[in-house]
Chains A and B, each alone.
Chain A
């Protein structure tokens, strides 16, 4: 035995042969993968250089516009003359209860330091200091927080704005949230569309069941038997399944969006079409793998074809059919979230719209809703399948 090792059947040293084969395989692999690397334009550097762009999007998406609260605000004004003239504007009148602003000087020129002091504002609240020239646009100068007495002092410099004989306005505005948080408008729209999405998947799956179940019997080799006519039906049905299944739901959605116009109905048809083929194939394969024993036993009792299917075939296929169907619904919920992108209705339409408008906080709501629904569906379908199989 020992001198046989290391040699092939003709007695040549095996090491050389296998090492040549190894080198050949290695060469082919190198060629294939280097070509693949080039045609797919893999550029790992961009993963690093492009990162800052995505950070902005991701941070917005993980802070979705989910809840909103009503806002209240409080503001006070002070006049400022630029440049100084006659008469210089008066300081605001002091009040015991109303908020007011006091400036360190009421006239001056750009660049000069200016201190703005606020009194009687809402305590511990964030606010913005703005400068409104008589002509031109308003500027935000800085954000600040009032202290526990509703007081603040801000050191600024007079901004570079056009000179005017009219008063410049210095405004401090505080904003805060009041009342309980409630779902934002975005959240409500997403919720509505999410319901539409889940039902879109449900309707598509249900339509598919009604067509796929009868077809699956025709597409099962063990039931179609040996007659020439039934064999033709078998091949026709299987061919239909394979062709339709090879066309992605997104393509079907584009077709149906033109056919029945954009909307959830197009989505139902697109997903339904794909599901008929996908379910039909799984169903027929299930029928083909059932135990033939009960079938011959039932036939032997003198039962007809329908009775044989009802008593020998159906009890064997119901649990796997249910499992496949729930799994398909699960897939369809996932698919229906993207099918809207090509006009198939559902939450995908909102998502693609917001992404195109760069409204990532809203897009974030859709993304989170999809995540939650898909996760829940996945869990539920897993649990149900475990129960019945």
Chain B
């Protein structure tokens, strides 16, 4: 269980990205975070694995306060939290296989990995992950030779290498076309349903959120303005979250 308590983030410039955010994520949930650009979704996700240092509040994951960890302990927590990014964040000049293997860095001997050597079983595992996302034949290509959708699948394979118990997906389909978006989210859903990985995913489009979420929260100006089931969001709620002028755009 992931328990976020009174999380606040104030950036150096004084921008308040998160205000006193509290919610819990049960194991096995597919929790979608919606909200406008700048509402604090990315900051929230990055606080959970401490890519961004929260200013105040606690993040309790399986009884451990993540905000109090440092060094080796923090890395041990991070390695069980996979992360998928809007811009895929692959190392473009490295091969697909190397990108996937890098998901294993938290587990392997740092000195051996620093010279590019991974245990045989990790290489096999990486190939298995690539097979699972359907791009095994692309393993030796350079990452930037792949299409956007394929690159995001590499991103998923990289997260899979971590044997994650939680996946943080930061707008994973915002750079992709609608059809590809669905195929990517289906892979994430598969991890959630088949492997029992808890998913915390931010999305722009309500229609996508409704299709995949088991539960939703909405952020507006760094505050939680809605928690509940996807079906609970009606037109009034929608306008509350996205502002009076917003109209719903459907992605099917």
- Chain B residues whose CB sits within 8 angstroms of the CB of A120 once the complex forms: none
- Chain B residues whose CB sits within 8 angstroms of the CB of A318 once the complex forms: 93
CB of B78 within 8 A of CB of A297, answer no
CB of A301 within 8 A of CB of B94, answer no
| Chain B 85-117 per-residue mask, 1 if CB under 8 angstroms from chain A, else 0 | 101111111100010001111110010011010
Quick check: is A315 within 8 A (CB to CB) of the other chain? yes
Question: Among the listed B75, B80, B87, which residue makes an inter-chain contact with A303, where contact means beta carbons less than 8 Å apart?
Answer: B75
Quick check: is A294 within 8 A (CB to CB) of the other chain? yes
CB-based nearest B residue for A294:
B91
Interface residues of A in 298-342 (CB under 8 A from B): 298-304, 306-307, 310-312, 315-316, 318-319
Quick check: is B153 within 8 A (CB to CB) of the other chain? no
CB of B110 within 8 A of CB of A300, answer no
- CA of A212 to CA of B91 in the docked complex: distance in angstroms? 24
User: With A299-B78, A301-B79 given, is the CB distance from A310 to B114 under 8 Å?
Assistant: yes
Distance between A388 CB and nearest chain B CB, rounded to angstroms: 11
- CA of A189 to CA of B92 in the docked complex: distance in angstroms? 49
CB of A306 within 8 A of CB of B75, answer no
Quick check: is B200 within 8 A (CB to CB) of the other chain? no
Quick check: is A50 within 8 A (CB to CB) of the other chain? no
CB of B102 within 8 A of CB of A303, answer yes
- Chain A residues whose CB sits within 8 angstroms of the CB of B103 once the complex forms: 301
Main secondary structure of the interface of A (DSSP, over half): helix
Quick check: is A293 within 8 A (CB to CB) of the other chain? yes
Quick check: is B197 within 8 A (CB to CB) of the other chain? no
Question: Among the listed B91, B93, B106, which residue makes an inter-chain contact with A302, where contact means beta carbons less than 8 Å apart?
Answer: B106
- Chain B residues whose CB sits within 8 angstroms of the CB of A294 once the complex forms: 89-92
Question: Among the listed A297, A298, A306, A316, which residue makes an inter-chain contact with B110, where contact means beta carbons less than 8 Å apart?
Answer: A306
- Chain A residues whose CB sits within 8 angstroms of the CB of B82 once the complex forms: 300
- CA of A298 to CA of B114 in the docked complex: distance in angstroms? 13
Interface residues of A in 265-315 (CB under 8 A from B): 291, 293-294, 296-304, 306-307, 310-312, 315
Quick check: is B83 within 8 A (CB to CB) of the other chain? yes
CB-based nearest A residue for B79:
A302
- Chain A residues whose CB sits within 8 angstroms of the CB of B91 once the complex forms: 294, 298, 311-312, 315-316
- Chain B residues whose CB sits within 8 angstroms of the CB of A299 once the complex forms: 51, 78
CB of B93 within 8 A of CB of A315, answer yes
- Chain B residues whose CB sits within 8 angstroms of the CB of A319 once the complex forms: 93
Interface residues of B, count at CB 8 A: 37
CB-based nearest A residue for B80:
A302
CB-based nearest B residue for A310:
B114
- Chain A residues whose CB sits within 8 angstroms of the CB of B92 once the complex forms: 291, 294, 315-316
Most buried by B among A296, A301, A318: A301
- Chain B residues whose CB sits within 8 angstroms of the CB of A303 once the complex forms: 75, 102, 105-106
CB of B102 within 8 A of CB of A300, answer no
CB of A300 within 8 A of CB of B51, answer yes
User: With A300-B81, A301-B78, A302-B76 given, is the CB distance from A307 to B93 under 8 Å?
Assistant: no
CB of B94 within 8 A of CB of A315, answer yes
Quick check: is B49 within 8 A (CB to CB) of the other chain? yes
- Chain A residues whose CB sits within 8 angstroms of the CB of B83 once the complex forms: 297, 300-301
CB of A306 within 8 A of CB of B114, answer yes
- Chain A residues whose CB sits within 8 angstroms of the CB of B110 once the complex forms: 304, 306-307
Most buried by B among A302, A310, A318: A302
- CA of A303 to CA of B46 in the docked complex: distance in angstroms? 16
Quick check: is B67 within 8 A (CB to CB) of the other chain? no
- CA of A311 to CA of B82 in the docked complex: distance in angstroms? 17
Distance between A322 CB and nearest chain B CB, rounded to angstroms: 12
- Chain A residues whose CB sits within 8 angstroms of the CB of B46 once the complex forms: 296
Return 9 A-B CB contacts under 8 Å, by A number: A293-B85, A300-B168, A301-B78, A301-B103, A302-B78, A302-B107, A303-B75, A306-B114, A310-B114
4 closest cross-chain pairs (CB), A and B? A302-B106, A302-B79, A293-B89, A297-B89
Extra inter-chain contacts (11) besides given A302-B75, A303-B106, CB under 8 Å: A291-B92, A293-B87, A293-B89, A294-B90, A297-B90, A300-B81, A301-B105, A301-B158, A302-B80, A302-B105, A304-B110
